[in-house]
């Protein structure tokens, strides 16, 4: 065992003495050491209950013969960090989480890891750590929040953000917004739509890093605690069979994840996190895969924010495993991939059926004939950009309009909320990329305001930053190269015509090369100032959005 180096022999007597000071007996110390990374904090609603989940995990480990050794990790609530300086710290926290787990795992010679997580950057940060460290590891999430209810309709966090836009447009009063605010988030769990957290929890299940049910069993259901206990037992089976993350995280497993993501209509942030996890596993996941796989895998689930269904509905319809069974039946995913159950995908989903064909539609009756996310390129995004095409209204799939240029998110949000954006405009927010922000902020406030004002069918938004999983509408992000590194988005001026053609995967600035050449001579790239030494270090090493915004090794 890996832990033998820290506990065996007379030379390790001081080490054992320290463990005994923590209350552990000789026979406990002799067990395999399982690090349990608990991302509990009292800020994030998706994490406030993780003490309960962690205790269940530890019970499962202990019952199966292991010694659970709990330690904490940080976590940022993207919703609370939204639309101010705090969001600059969200994406960089992913790397900090990965590194902190590596420090704990290697410093203490753990034999295995259980990663207790739930929200946006914590999930991929933990998965990246598992892939980097490559000792037997398994992920367990805290589960999704139930949808809120108001006047007989389901609502969620996105309803509140869009309510702000409706209020600014005079379509709602403050009393009505307060009612939405009070009812949209009824309890613990990751926000109830197919936003980034829930998309990534589903991806953990599809990649094979988590047990069946990880993506959809509600946070408040007793099944979530049972799953946590089973997760604790499962890590011991992985150790006994010496199955490591890189045995699971194969090219075929990532292809499966992309296929299911596209069928679900998941968050555009998966185009950051799946490549980042692949990078940590020593693989390369090109964003071209989203177009290639999306051409044959249709969009089958109409989930909030662009649809009416929530994660609890997907759970009741059979869960991620039912969707996977349907895709496997048509050879659209690989059934031979090994998973943390020690069984294959095919074995895991055997006998699973779709229980509601409106929530998980059959392949011959999709919501859209192509997958939910598109990777697009053009003169405005030579290296590429990302759009959730399943969330774009039909009239905006092809659009040309004049640019309204803003140098940061705050300026754009102010103009939108002041009703300064006109039908047909293309809002451009730059200097918000991994380096320019720094930190690549999400743009949920401006996109939600546009939707709340009823302009989702007339106004587009383009940025070198990124979007919340709760964003919908003609929102194109991750534009690369970003403005801070000299990308063409930095050359755009008010009134320039921008052409968007999502079916043809094009994003173009309709300005002649001669004019752009003149602008380049005078252009000095701008990067937002920060007083944070942490963010300055991140800026120095961060790669582009289409490279997963990982940190360069050198």
Active-site residue set: 468
SS3 category, 191: coil
Angle formed at CA 184 by CA 178 and CA 185, multiple of 5 degrees: 120
In angstroms, the Cα distances linking 407 to 464, 465, 534, 542 are: 11, 11, 22, 20
Phi then psi for residue 177, to 5 deg, are: -65, -40
* Residue 321, SS3 per DSSP: helix
In contact, 271 and 375? CB cutoff 8 Å: yes
Instruction: Specify burial of residue 168 (Cβ count, 10 A radius: 0-12, 13-18, 19+).
Output: middle
Residues in the chain: 554
Question: Which positions ≥6 away from 27 have C-beta within 8 Å?
Answer: none
Determine contact, residues 206/260, Cβ cutoff 8 Å.
yes
Tokens of 465: 């930053």
Burial class (CB in 10 A: 0-12, 13-18, 19+), 495: exposed
3-state secondary structure of 3: coil
3-class SS of residue 463: strand
Query: Collapsing DSSP states into helix, strand and coil, what is residue 421?
Result: coil
Instruction: Evaluate whether 263 touches 301 at the Cβ level (below 8 Å).
Output: yes
Contacts of 255 by beta carbon, 8 Å cutoff, 6+ apart: 289, 293, 333, 334
CA–CA distance, 423 with 205 (Å, rounded to integer): 41
Q: Are 75 and 89 in contact (CB under 8 A)?
A: no
Token pair in block for residue 327: 């895709």
In whole angstroms, what is the distance from residue 390 CA to residue 397 CA? Answer: 10
Contact 81, 90 (CB under 8 A): yes
Strand partners, 153: 150
Report the C-alpha gap between 93 and 441 in whole angstroms: 12
Q: Are 474 and 498 in contact (CB under 8 A)?
A: no
Residue 65: how many CA atoms within 13 Å on its side-chain side? 9
Sheet holding 33-38, edge to edge: 67-72, 33-38, 112-117, 137-141
Rounded CA separation 21/213 (Å): 38
Distance (Å, whole) CA 14 – CA 32: 19
d(CA 438, CA 385): 18
Q: Which residues contact 103 (CB under 8 A, 6 or more apart)?
A: none
For residue 303, give both structure tokens. 């989930």
């Amino acid at each position: 065992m890996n832990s033998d180096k820290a506990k065996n022999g007379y030379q390790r007597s001081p080490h054992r003495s320290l463990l005994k000071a923590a209350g552990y007996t000789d026979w406990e110390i002799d067990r395999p050491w399982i690090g349990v990374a608990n991302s509990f904090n009292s800020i994030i609603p998706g994490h406030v209950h993780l003490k309960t989940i962690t205790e269940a995990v530890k019970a499962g480990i202990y019952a199966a013969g292991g010694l659970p050794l709990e330690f904490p990790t940080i976590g940022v609530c993207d919703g609370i960090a939204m639309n101010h300086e705090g969001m600059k710290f969200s994406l960089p926290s992913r790397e900090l989480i990965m590194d902190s787990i590596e420090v704990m795992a290697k410093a203490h010679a753990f034999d295995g890891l259980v990663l207790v997580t739930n929200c946006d950057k914590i999930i991929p940060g933990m998965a990246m750590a598992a892939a980097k460290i490559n000792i037997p590891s398994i992920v367990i999430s805290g589960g999704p929040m139930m949808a809120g209810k108001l006047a007989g309709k389901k609502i969620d966090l996105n309803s509140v953000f869009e309510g702000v836009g409706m209020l600014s447009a005079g379509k709602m009063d403050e009393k009505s917004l307060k009612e939405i605010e009070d009812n949209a988030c009824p309890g613990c769990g990751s926000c109830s739509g197919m936003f980034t957290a829930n998309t990534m929890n589903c991806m953990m299940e599809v990649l094979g890093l988590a047990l069946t049910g990880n993506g959809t069993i509600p946070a408040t259901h007793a099944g979530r605690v049972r799953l946590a206990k089973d997760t604790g037992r499962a890590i011991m089976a992985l150790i006994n069979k010496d199955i490591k993350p890189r045995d699971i995280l194969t090219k075929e497993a990532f292809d499966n994840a992309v296929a299911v993501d596209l069928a679900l209509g998941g968050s555009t942030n998966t185009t950051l996190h799946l490549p980042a996890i692949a990078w940590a596993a020593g693989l390369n996941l090109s964003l071209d895969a989203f177009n290639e796989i999306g051409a044959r895998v249709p969009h089958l689930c109409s989930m909030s924010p662009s649809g009416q269904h929530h994660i609890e509905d997907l759970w009741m319809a059979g869960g991620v495993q039912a969707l996977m069974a349907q895709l496997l039946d048509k050879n659209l995913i690989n059934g031979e991939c090994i998973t943390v159950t020690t069984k294959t995908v095919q074995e895991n989903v055997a006998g699973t059926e779709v229980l509601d064909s409106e929530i998980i539609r059959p392949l011959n009756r999709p919501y859209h004939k192509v997958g939910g996310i598109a990777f697009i390129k053009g003169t405005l995004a030579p290296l590429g950009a990302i759009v959730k095409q399943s969330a774009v209204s039909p009239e905006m799939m092809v659009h040309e309009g004049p640019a309204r240029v803003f140098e940061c998110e705050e300026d754009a949000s102010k103009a939108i909320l002041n009703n300064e954006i006109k039908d047909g405009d293309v809002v451009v927010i730059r200097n918000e990329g991994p380096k320019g922000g720094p930190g690549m902020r999400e743009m949920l406030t401006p996109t939600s305001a546009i939707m709340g004002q009823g302009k989702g069918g007339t106004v587009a938004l383009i940025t070198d930053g990124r979007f919340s999983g709760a964003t919908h509408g003609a929102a194109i992000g991750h534009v690369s190269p970003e403005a801070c590194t000299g990308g063409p988005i930095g050359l755009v001026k008010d009134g320039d015509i921008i052409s968007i053609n999502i079916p043809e995967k094009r994003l173009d600035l309709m300005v002649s090369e001669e004019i752009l050449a003149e602008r380049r001579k005078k252009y000095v790239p701008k990067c937002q100032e920060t007083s944070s030494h942490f963010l300055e270090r991140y800026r120095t090493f961060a790669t582009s959005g289409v490279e997963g915004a990982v940190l360069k090794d050198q």
